[in-house]
Each structure stands twice: as structure tokens, then as C-alpha cells.
């Protein structure tokens, strides 16, 4: 007896039926979870105390809030930029307890009691940080979106070299760290400038370093 043609399914039909089956199985579990005690749907919050640019800050935040969003959305320090939001561009770089970090990759609640410095804390119009003034002098920016992260990172880079912290291209890990173009390129490699102002950025950093290269 020849097979009937009434039960032909396309690949799309099979995928649709699979998705419907998964949804049907998951729905009772979701309903049960929502009815359990304490499942109110409200976010879990925590109190966080920070010192940001020399000013104490006391916040109550959703525990999932990144340091970047805490700075921008809760403290209105919008100089720190949200670029990729995946730790790949460096636009959100800030200095925490003397070390530069990508603020989009860390939670605010992880930095209880920390001292945070953003671009606003380095200097202000009329009283610029030497690195800010050097970026202006050497045109170390074009669109300017990455500039706050570039400057915060550059300031921390010079401190790293001063403290003899080696990088991936440091030839002798036991020797005193030395300022060089190769070192700066490696240490600044996490800060992306899509406009391509890298040579000017290096010139600015070199001037602040005192022309040690």
C-alpha cells in the first residue's frame, strides 16, 4: 500500500512544533515559581558606599547594577562612556583604588568602600589634569567618545610604569619598568580609538611622562 501524502511536514513546521512543545513543558514550572513565597518580582537591592572623585556617595542599588551604570544613571557622571558594554573598547575605563578597570564589567556592589576616580575627578575646565591638557595640545581625540577612557587609562599606565608593574612586552621582569613606545602601545591596547588618533595619543602620554622615551 502506497504511503499517504497527507502527512508531509516542512522543516519550519517541525521547528514550530518543537518550540510549542518546549513552551508547554516550561509554562507550569514558571507558574509554580511565581507562586512560591518571596517571588515578588522586585529586584534585590543593597546599600553601597563609595568615594567618587573625593566625594562620599551612599546609594541603594539593584545588585545587578554595573559600576558604569551607577556612575552614569545614579550619580549623573556621564563623562564615563558606555561603548561596547562588553569590556572590549575601554570607553568606560575608570580608576578604582589606583587601578584602571572597565566599569561595564564589574558590579557596583563589589566596590564597597572603594575610591573611584572618573574623568570628572581628574580635572575641570580651567584646571585640567596634565594628561587632559596634553590630549588637547596634541589633538589626542577626534570624535571624543573614547577620550575619557583613554585619559583615565593613560594616567594609570604611567603609574603602572612608575610602580614597576610589568606588561606582556616587558623584556626583563626583574628590571625596572621603562617607558617606551612598545610598552605604551601594549598597555593602552585595551582602549580603542575608532577615529585612529593613536599616534597623537602616544605623543600626549609621552609629554606627560617627561619625554622618557
> Residue 192 sits in a domain of what CATH number?
1.10.150.120
| Domain's final residue, options 93, 122, 151 | 122
Q: What is the pLDDT of residue 24?
A: 60
* Residue at 13 is within a domain: no
* Residue at 19 is within a domain: no
- Which grid cell sits at 178? 621603562
Q: What is the pLDDT of residue 213?
A: 44
- Which grid cell sits at 201? 595619543
* Residue at 101 is within a domain: yes
- Containing 115, the helix (H) or strand (E) segment is strand 115-117
User: Residue 147's closest CA among 80, 66, 101, 67?
Assistant: 80
Query: The domain containing residue 146 runs over which residues?
Result: 123-213
What is d(CA 211, CA 80) in angstroms, rounded to the nearest whole number?
A: 28
157 Cβ contact partners less than 8 Å away, ≥ 6 residues apart = 100, 184, 187, 188, 205
pLDDT band of residue 10 (cuts 50, 70, 90) is: confident
> Residue 67 sits in a domain of what CATH number?
3.10.20.30
Phi-psi label, residue 129: left if phi above 0, alpha if psi -120 to 50, beta otherwise: beta
Domain count, the chain: 2
* Residue at 8 is within a domain: no
* Domain co-membership, 142 together with 178: yes
CA count, 13 A, side-chain hemisphere, 32: 5
What is d(CA 186, CA 189) in angstroms, rounded to the nearest whole number?
A: 5
pLDDT per position as a tens digit, 146-196: 999 999 999 999 999 999 999 999 988 888 888 999 999 999 999 999 999
Global pTM value: 0.79
* Domain co-membership, 92 together with 141: no
For the beta carbon of residue 85, count every other beta carbon within 10 angstroms: 15
Q: What is the pLDDT of residue 5?
A: 56
Amino acid at each position: 500500500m502506497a504511503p499517504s501524502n497527507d502527512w508531509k511536514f516542512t522543516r519550519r513546521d517541525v521547528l514550530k512544533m518543537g518550540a510549542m512543545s518546549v513552551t508547554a513543558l516550561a509554562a507550569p514550572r514558571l507558574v509554580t515559581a511565581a507562586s512560591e513565597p518571596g517571588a515578588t518580582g522586585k529586584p534585590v537591592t543593597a546599600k553601597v558606599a563609595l568615594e567618587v572623585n573625593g566625594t562620599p556617595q551612599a546609594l541603594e542599588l539593584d545588585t545587578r547594577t554595573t559600576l558604569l551604570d551607577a556612575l552614569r544613571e545614579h550619580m549623573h557622571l556621564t563623562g564615563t562612556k558606555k561603548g561596547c558594554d562588553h569590556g572590549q573598547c575601554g570607553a568606560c575605563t575608570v580608576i578604582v583604588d589606583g587601578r584602571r578597570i572597565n566599569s561595564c564589567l564589574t558590579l557596583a556592589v563589589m566596590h564597597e568602600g572603594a575610591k573611584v576616580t572618573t574623568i570628572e575627578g581628574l580635572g575641570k575646565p580651567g584646571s585640567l589634569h596634565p594628561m587632559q591638557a596634553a590630549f588637547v595640545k596634541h589633538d589626542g581625540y577626534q570624535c571624543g567618545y573614547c577620550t575619557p577612557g583613554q585619559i583615565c587609562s593613560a594616567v594609570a599606565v604611567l603609574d603602572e610604569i612608575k610602580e614597576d608593574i610589568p606588561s606582556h612586552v616587558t623584556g626583563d621582569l626583574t628590571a625596572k619598568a621603562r617607558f617606551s613606545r612598545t610598552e605604551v602601545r601594549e598597555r593602552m591596547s585595551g582602549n580603542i580609538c575608532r577615529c585612529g588618533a593613536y599616534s597623537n595619543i602616544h605623543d600626549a602620554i609621552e609629554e606627560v611622562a617627561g619625554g622618557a622615551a
